[in-house]
Structure 1
């Protein structure tokens, strides 16, 4: 093999990984039922002092670029309690061609509670990322879902002028579609975020979704917690409630300081994973 062909081979390498975690209750505690890891996708299970379980998702490749593929499948059986986060912020780097793709499938069975709070995704200049989130919640189940985006690291002087980000959500409750959205950002990200009707100069934003029977009771306190930097609304979704909140901030640090009290409120004042510490 020539040096040129070796270089070409190295340049064509792509991240591929998939992780599956299913948990169930046993003797009053949430325990692992199934666990599978493939490629760059790893799942770690820190010790928990309470009856629920915490899972940490890891992309050992350290980031994503064009052509990379990563998938997660998470399921909480009836009565199980699971909190899922990531080891660090996911990073979408500059793409030399094509887009990176991350797909997540979440299933929350009857009486189960699942909190999906990955740390923020950082988009870098000229990155291309497409993300897909599919959530299925059975009657009596509870799901708290967060996804957050940071446009470069302001402390490092990074700016994002051009990039492409697509985010697709499909959330079902009791077999019925209760939330669907298609978010598109780019290619001229800086110009788009500068528009008053879009980002008004913000460099970080997040979406929080709660599917729970008591969602309506949390609307007013959530609005108080968000203040002028965000907004929240509630709808009846089949036999349950849907609470949706959007937040924007000047940078990732300010976004996180606003996210933490909102998430703690919606999570029944339960503490967030230690990896979320400021």
Structure 2
């Protein structure tokens, strides 16, 4: 690990039938803070401790949730990838869920300012019986900006099987303006459900090739995108909370 890399680790497990935060290890940029333990449910906030992301910042976040435990991650504030001035930054997240574990993570907006050059990668590895609901919002540019370069990828596995392998390249403004990409939108919001069947998907929701689904919304303004996927989040949230209560 170089001086610019920052490792943050979270491990939540069950002890005597109750959730326990076994590891809350913060890095130079991001620190986990325990908010609440309630039965088998743990709520943990991801708190930024400095301006993030700057050129040369490389955040690695690892999360492990033990059997029968539900982890809810909170982000009190969004993240801005600032002008890299020729440099690069990255944010890689790795999540492992044990049998009958659950994850709820409704991320705050990730803003890519002019001049930024950033990559994001999220890996979700779920044991059979686990369920995860993850929402993220990417905003290209602050007010009046076009937005910098972004490449974001997601790899979700369930029971050892790939359910979602996606690589979205938004580094070049001319390409991302194509109709098959963002067209005139600058906000991309995605909600991903892994480990549960969605039997009645809406028009903006797509079933995955296995237990899971994906919903996506494109808008011009960040404040409108949450409403576009709010119903999806509320319906799919029950798949996670109900399953882990039974587990």
Same fold, TM-score > 0.5, yes or no = yes
Equivalent in 192, 196, 199 of residue 209 of structure 1: 192
Counting only pairs closer than 5 Å after superposition, residues 242-253 of structure 1 correspond to structure 2 as: 242-253=212-223
SS in structure 2 opposite 1:46? strand
Deviates more, 1:135-144 or 1:31-40: 31-40
2:85 aligned partner: 96
TM-score (norm 1): 0.79
Compared CA separation, residues 126 and 17, structure 1 to 2 (3 A)? same
- Aligned residue for 1:39, secondary structure, equals coil
Contact 1:81 1:113 in 2 (8 A): yes
Is the Cα–Cα contact under 8 Å of residues 202 and 248 in structure 1 kept in the other structure?
yes
Q: 1:33 — aligned with what?
A: 22
Aligned to 2:244: none
Tell me, in whole angstroms, the C-alpha distance in 1 between the residues paired with 2:38 and 2:240.
12
Q: Equivalents in 2 of 1:59, 1:232: separation in Å?
A: 32
* Preserved CA contact (<8 Å) 1:116 1:146: yes
Matched, 1:262 2:232: yes
Q: For residue 46 of structure 2, what is the aligned residue in structure 1?
A: 57
**1:167-206 aligned within 5 A:** 167-188=152-173, 191-206=174-189
Other structure's SS at 2:61 match: strand
Q: Which residue of 1 aligns with 2:205?
A: 232
Listed one character per residue, the Cα deviations across residues 187-224 of structure 1 (whole Å, up to 9, x for unaligned) are: 32xx44443332231121112211123x223x43xx1x
The equivalent residue for 1:3 is none
Paired residue secondary structure (2:198): helix
> Aligned match of 1:148 in 134, 137, 142?
137
Contact 1:23 1:80 in 2 (8 A): yes
**Which of these two proteins has the greater Rg computed from alpha carbons?**
1
Instruction: Name the CA distance, whole Å, in 1 between partners of 2:37 and 2:223.
Output: 27
Aligned to 2:60: 71
More helix by share: 1
- Report the RMSD for the aligned CA atoms in angstroms: 2.2
Deviation for aligned residue 1:51: 4.1
Scaled by the length of structure 2, the TM-score of the pair is: 0.88
Alpha-carbon distance in structure 1 between the residues aligned to 2:181 and 2:29: 35
Partner of 1:81: 70
**Other structure's SS at 2:86 match:** coil
Q: Could you report, residue by residue, the CA deviation over 1:218-246 in whole angstroms, capped at 9, with x for unpaired residues?
A: x43xx1xxx6xxx2111342xxx120111
Contact 2:215/2:229, CA 8 A, preserved across alignment: no
Consecutive unaligned residues of structure 1, counting only runs of 5 or more, are 1-13, 272-278
Helix, strand or coil at the partner of 2:231: helix
Partner SS for 2:55: coil
C-alpha contact 1:21 1:74 (8 A) present in aligned 2: yes
Verify: 1:121 aligned to 2:110, yes or no.
yes
In structure 2, the residue corresponding to 1:178 is in which secondary structure?
strand
Native 8 Å contact 1:65 1:95 kept in 2: yes
Query: Please, which runs of 5 or more residues in structure 2 have no aligned partner?
Result: 242-247
Rounded Cα–Cα distance in structure 2 between residues aligned with 1:62 and 1:50: 35
